[in-house]
């Protein structure tokens, strides 16, 4: 196991924030867990690809940076395959691997940054698909006892950008691998966003899962800022789910308010629309701000501190609450 001391975390986080970690243990194999770590593990933070973290202070906790590798088909039949993937595998590379192996269900989640081990934490989702629909089990180590546990899908309490690992068991488990059930029969889902439009523009009327993946990759590349050029962590806030009464009130003021029904009592509103209507889209203060084309994405134009971005996020939250009565919840982990 590699151990790094007083290391700058800037190359490891997509916000490109400078921050020092007192100690980083780089975990490359299961032997590293078994031979080098003494349980209970206290004052620990787990790091995947650093694409959903905003660093606001030097990190005094020991960071376990998960770089374990491995993708194995455990079982298969004519219809589906059960695949076990190590936590440190890159998410998008795994999506591409699944397509090469004619295993389907992940194509709508193409190009989401980060690692496989982090995918259950906030139940990653995009273009009408959430990863919970293909997760069979999650294997994890209890940081207190060192015991390995298997969580079945229903035990993970998956919700919108949420799971038991982000709520009740936050910081309690280290996910070592995720077991997926992937289909051998394509189930094309193109009803969300501009996917259908891009496919039509490319003359594709009967798309394969790879066509869907390529369309989503090109949409994401054109719409979202590339963290290599402008530091960001994707959507900074969750899309709020609000009561129908509040929605009806807002509709009187904003006729064209976009919405997605949840049930008879609640409705989801795009947080980006709220932020834009409250006047924050494109806001810039020296080297940080709100992206000019994507109001949901806060950006570091270079050299900004995590504290200043966090402060901006809090100002946006209170302003949107004042103007619309909607509480925006941060999706990004603030450390
Ligand atoms: C440009 C961009 C676009 C994005 N688009 C999307 C999107 O479309 N949909 C979406 O859902 N998300 C999106 N995200 C957010 C991000 O990609 C996901 O949340 C991703 O799953 C984070 O993975 P990571 O490995 O980088 O996790 P990190 O940022 O390293 O960690 C995130 C959290 O997970 C915990 N964690 C990480 N690995 C483990 C592990 N093995 N065991 C236990 N805990 C762990 C960390 O402690 C932390 O709390 C986007 C981010 C960016 C920068």
C-beta 52 within 6 A of ligand 1? yes
Are 240 and 274 spatial neighbours (Cβ–Cβ below 8 Å)? yes
Q: Which of 112, 134, 168, 335 to mutate to test the pocket of ligand 1 (most atoms within 8 A of CB)?
A: 112
Of the options 3.30.465.10, 3.30.70.20, 3.60.20.10, 3.20.20.70, the CATH number for the domain spanning 71-183: 3.30.465.10
Provide the pLDDT for residue 239: 95
Q: Please confirm, yes or no, whether 130 is among the known catalytic residues.
A: no
Centre of ligand 1 to C-alpha 13, Å, is 10
The 10 Å Cβ neighbour count of residue 105 is 22
Strand partners, 19: none
Provide the pLDDT for residue 192: 87
Q: Please confirm, yes or no, whether 76 is among the known catalytic residues.
A: no
Domain 231-334: CATH architecture, name and number where available? Alpha-Beta Complex (3.90)
Q: Which candidate in 161, 163, 177, 213 is catalytic?
A: 161
Q: What is the largest CA-CA distance in the chain?
A: 63
Backbone angles phi, psi at 87, to 5 degrees: -60, -30
User: Tokens 């504290």 map to which residue?
Assistant: 307
Q: Which of 89, 95, 118, 144 to mutate to test the pocket of ligand 1 (most atoms within 8 A of CB)?
A: 118
Ordered by start, the domain boundaries in the chain are 2-66, 71-183, 231-334
**Edge-to-edge strands, sheet with 260-261:** 241-243, 266-268, 260-261
* Residues 9, 92: Cα–Cα separation, whole Å: 22
The number of the ligand 1 atom at minimal distance from the alpha carbon of 117 is 41
* Residues 38, 221: Cα–Cα separation, whole Å: 42
Are 258 and 270 spatial neighbours (Cβ–Cβ below 8 Å)? yes
The domain 2-66 having CATH identifier 3.30.43.10: the answer here is yes
The number of the ligand 1 atom at minimal distance from the alpha carbon of 88 is 41
C-beta 287 within 6 A of ligand 1? no
Per-residue pLDDT of the chain (335 residues; tens, 9 = 90+): 999 999 999 999 999 999 999 999 999 998 887 788 889 999 999 999 999 999 999 999 999 999 999 999 999 999 999 999 999 999 999 999 999 999 999 999 999 999 999 999 999 999 999 999 999 999 999 999 999 999 999 999 999 999 999 999 999 999 999 999 999 999 999 998 899 999 999 999 999 999 999 999 999 999 999 999 999 999 999 999 999 999 999 999 998 999 988 999 999 999 999 999 999 999 999 999 999 999 999 999 999 999 999 999 999 999 999 999 999 999 999 99
Are 321 and 304 spatial neighbours (Cβ–Cβ below 8 Å)? no
Q: Please confirm, yes or no, whether 331 is among the known catalytic residues.
A: yes
Please name which of 82, 91, 83, 84 lies closest in space to residue 121, comparing C-alpha atoms: 91
**pTM recorded for the entire structure:** 0.96
User: Tokens 């949840």 map to which residue?
Assistant: 262
């Amino acid at each position: 196991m590699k151990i790094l001391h007083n290391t700058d975390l800037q190359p490891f986080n997509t916000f490109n924030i400078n921050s020092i970690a007192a100690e980083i243990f780089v975990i490359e194999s299961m032997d590293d867990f078994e031979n080098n770590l003494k349980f209970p593990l206290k004052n620990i933070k787990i790091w995947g690809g650093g694409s959903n973290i905003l660093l606001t202070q030097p990190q005094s906790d020991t960071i376990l940076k998960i770089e374990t590798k491995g993708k194995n088909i455990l079982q298969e039949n004519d219809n589906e395959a059960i695949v076990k993937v190590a936590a440190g595998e890159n998410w998008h590379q795994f999506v591409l691997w699944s397509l090469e192996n004619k295993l389907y269900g992940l194509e709508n989640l193409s190009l989401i940054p980060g690692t496989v081990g982090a995918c259950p934490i906030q139940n990653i989702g995009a273009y009408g698909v959430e990863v919970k629909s293909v997760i069979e089990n999650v294997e994890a180590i209890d940081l207190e006892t060192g015991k390995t546990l298997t969580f079945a899908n229903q035990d993970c309490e998956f919700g919108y950008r949420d799971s038991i690992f982000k709520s009740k068991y936050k910081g309690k488990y280290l996910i070592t691998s995720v077991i997926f059930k992937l289909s051998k029969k394509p189930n094309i889902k193109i009803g969300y966003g501009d996917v259908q439009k891009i496919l039509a523009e490319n003359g594709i009327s009967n798309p394969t899962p790879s066509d869907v993946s390529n369309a989503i990759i090109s949409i994401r590349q054109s719409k979202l800022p590339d963290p290599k050029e402008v530091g960001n962590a994707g959507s900074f806030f969750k899309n709020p789910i609000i009561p129908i009464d509040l929605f009806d009130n807002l509709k009187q003021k904003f006729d064209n308010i976009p919405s997605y029904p949840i049930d008879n009592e609640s409705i989801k509103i795009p947080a980006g629309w709220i932020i834009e209507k409250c006047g924050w889209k494109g806001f810039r203060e020296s080297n940080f701000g709100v992206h000019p084309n994507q109001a949901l994405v806060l950006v570091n134009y270079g050299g900004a501190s995590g504290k200043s971005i966090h402060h901006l996020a809090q100002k946006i939250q209170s302003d949107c609450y004042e103007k619309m009565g909607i509480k925006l919840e941060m999706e990004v982990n603030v450390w």
